[in-house]
Amino acid sequence: MSLFTTAGGGATQATGYEVSNSIRLNDNDSQYLYRTFDSEPTSRRTFTASLWVKRSNLGFNTTFFNASTTNNFYDQALMFDSNDNLRTINVASGSDAIQVITNRKFRDVSAWYHIVLAVDTTEAAVADGVKFYINGVQETSFGTTTYTQNATYELGRNGSTTAIGRQQLNGTQYFDGYMAEINYVDGQQLAPTDFGETNNNGVWIPKEYEGTYGTNGFFLKFADSSDGGVDSSGNGNDFTATNLTAQDNTTDTPTNNFCTLNPLVPHNSIFAAETEGNTGLSSSGVELNGGYMGATIMPTSGKWYFEVKIVSITNSTDRTGIAIPRFDSVTGDDHIEGGDYAGFSVSTGTVGRVFVTEGSSTTETDNSDYAFSDDDIAIFAVDMDASTPRVYVGKNGTWYTTSAGSGGNPASDTGYFEVNLSTGGSGFSVGARHSAGASAAQSYLYNFGNPAFSISSGNSDANGYGNFEYAVPSGYYALCTKNLAEYG
């Protein structure tokens, strides 16, 4: 479970190459891209696939780079299996010609992985014909290895359909997460250094690929919400995007990693369906001890802004809502421990309530201004630089005071709740709270700057990061690694 606290991302880069966009794929929405090629590739035995991925849901088969011609001839060139191992499979005449499965497991939902599959099946040493590189390092520990010299792949084959984001053969195994910088180089087995480099902090980062692509090579960089699967290699090998919307084009990238919810944080089973690249969350059931879902970035300093859209509320008085707890309040038995919990939460029911808790002591503020309905957007600002951290809360662009009513203002330090969020330097987390016997279902979309819901106005922070419905208060920033490196 890798988590960002006061450092991470935004480090000095060797060439200064920035990745501006990615696509967010939600498996529940059957989202993917595809292209059927109408010419023969430069080679069916030699190619390199290079791409960056950030996973969301874990523990199931998901194929994200593959091709098929018939049931007996297909490639699952890149896939994570149900054990979270990375695989590559090439099937010819109904049998595995190539199958390589890593021993390593890929379970970090906070990280961007750079994956390179470099293939040349004409190699005399057949094991050299299929190489995996992860973040610039060659993978050498495998649980399964099957090699066939001169095996031919379906990727780029005339009449074959290449798919990104699902298994094309059966229309299954959809990918859930983010993808960026998808390079397919036809006819060359390349090194990871053609696509990435190590920065001054020893972190593997993207580098612009400056080589050729071969006949059926392509480069998908998702430059903006309108370009879908436009090929930027110069070959014109565009892909068709299926079930993708403008909100699925995001600025969460390998060079600026945004906060998301984190299913690896201990949480109760009442939380389910982490969707939309771990920015969507639903809850249901009963949890008396404060069931909780946390996030991937937990700053111990700095000033931070985020929004939460209320998708669906069915309860009226229970304490189900949005929580900002101190991270060390989260325990291994899947809830916030009543005697140790420190944090802030706001009910999202029709009776407005705000709770500030320290150990077994809870201060409750009731006012209808804090009540939320479907489609409302809750706004939050958290000041971790104050001697006692401060939380500001509002709704639909209006900041409230501690006794409710408009008049709060994070920029001028008015209307805040003091909350013990930084004891021991643990930092605060962000997520949902479900407690006090609440049994009805709730659904939220969290916007840390990479919204999965439509934004009508479009506001970024002072550094130009994030996309928010409402103005970011002066001095507050989106939860992303570039801001974390500067202010966290």
pLDDT at 376: 93
Same structural domain for residues 421 and 445? yes
Segment 428-445 shows an average pLDDT of: 69
Final residue belonging to a domain, choices 250, 282, 308: 250
Other C-beta atoms closer than 10 Å to the C-beta of 235 total: 17
49: amino acid identity, one letter = A
Same structural domain for residues 460 and 412? yes
Final residue belonging to a domain, choices 218, 250, 282: 250
Q: How far is it, in rounded angstroms, from Cα 395 to Cα 343? A: 20
CA within 13 Å, CB half, 215: 14
pLDDT in tens, 223-238: 876 667 999 999 999 9
Other C-beta atoms closer than 10 Å to the C-beta of 348 total: 29
Segment 291-304 shows an average pLDDT of: 84
**Which DSSP symbol is given to 248?**
G
385: amino acid identity, one letter = D
Same structural domain for residues 265 and 233? no
Looking at the domain assignment, is residue 141 inside a domain?
A: yes
Segment 87-97 shows an average pLDDT of: 95
Looking at the domain assignment, is residue 11 inside a domain?
A: no
Mapped onto helix, strand or coil, the DSSP state of residue 370 is helix
pLDDT at 96: 95
Query: CATH number for the domain including 97?
Result: 2.60.120.200
Helix (H) or strand (E) holding 144: strand 142-146
Q: How many angstroms separate the Cα of 402 from the Cα of each of 306, 346, 416?
A: 19, 12, 6
Looking at the domain assignment, is residue 2 inside a domain?
A: no
Check whether 442 has a pLDDT greater than 70.
yes
Final residue belonging to a domain, choices 250, 277, 292: 250
Looking at the domain assignment, is residue 146 inside a domain?
A: yes
Mapped onto helix, strand or coil, the DSSP state of residue 69 is strand
Check whether 267 has a pLDDT greater than 70.
no
Looking at the domain assignment, is residue 17 inside a domain?
A: no
Looking at the domain assignment, is residue 80 inside a domain?
A: yes
Same structural domain for residues 238 and 265? no
Same structural domain for residues 209 and 273? no
Same structural domain for residues 241 and 288? no
Token pair, residue 349, equals: 């029911």
pLDDT band at 290 (very low <50, low <70, confident <90, very high): low
pLDDT in tens, 354-381: 888 777 777 888 888 888 889 999 999 9
Q: How many domains does the chain have?
A: 2
Check whether 256 has a pLDDT greater than 60.
yes
Percentage of the chain surpassing pLDDT 90? 65
Token pair, residue 383, equals: 């000041």
Looking at the domain assignment, is residue 255 inside a domain?
A: no
pLDDT at 421: 84
Q: How far is it, in rounded angstroms, from Cα 371 to Cα 8? A: 36
Same structural domain for residues 237 and 379? no
Same structural domain for residues 457 and 384? yes
Same structural domain for residues 291 and 245? no
Segment 132-142 shows an average pLDDT of: 97
Mapped onto helix, strand or coil, the DSSP state of residue 96 is strand
Torsion of CA 341, 347, 348, 353, to 10 degrees: -160
- Residue 350's domain comprises 261-487
What's the start-to-end Cα distance of the chain, in Å?
Answer: 20
pLDDT in tens, 1-32: 445 543 334 544 577 899 999 999 999 899 99
Segment 159-176 shows an average pLDDT of: 95
Looking at the domain assignment, is residue 10 inside a domain?
A: no
pLDDT in tens, 192-206: 999 999 999 899 999
229: amino acid identity, one letter = G
Same structural domain for residues 108 and 218? yes
Token pair, residue 285, equals: 């059931």
Full DSSP string of 412-469: GTBSPEE----GGG--B--EEEE-TT--S-EEEEEESSS-SS--SS-B--TTS---BS
pLDDT in tens, 393-426: 999 999 999 988 888 999 999 999 998 887 766 7
Say which residues have a Cβ less than 8 Å from residue 290's Cβ, sequence separation at least 6.
323, 335, 336, 338, 341, 433, 434, 435
Check whether 440 has a pLDDT greater than 70.
no
Mapped onto helix, strand or coil, the DSSP state of residue 60 is coil
Sign of the C-alpha dihedral computed for residues 75, 78, 81 and 83 taken in this order: positive
* pTM of structure: 0.93
Query: CATH number for the domain including 293?
Result: 2.60.120.920
3-state helix vs strand vs coil in the chain, percent to 5: 5, 40, 50
Same structural domain for residues 222 and 359? no
Same structural domain for residues 350 and 396? yes
Among residues 461, 321, 429, which one has the least CA distance to residue 5?
A: 429
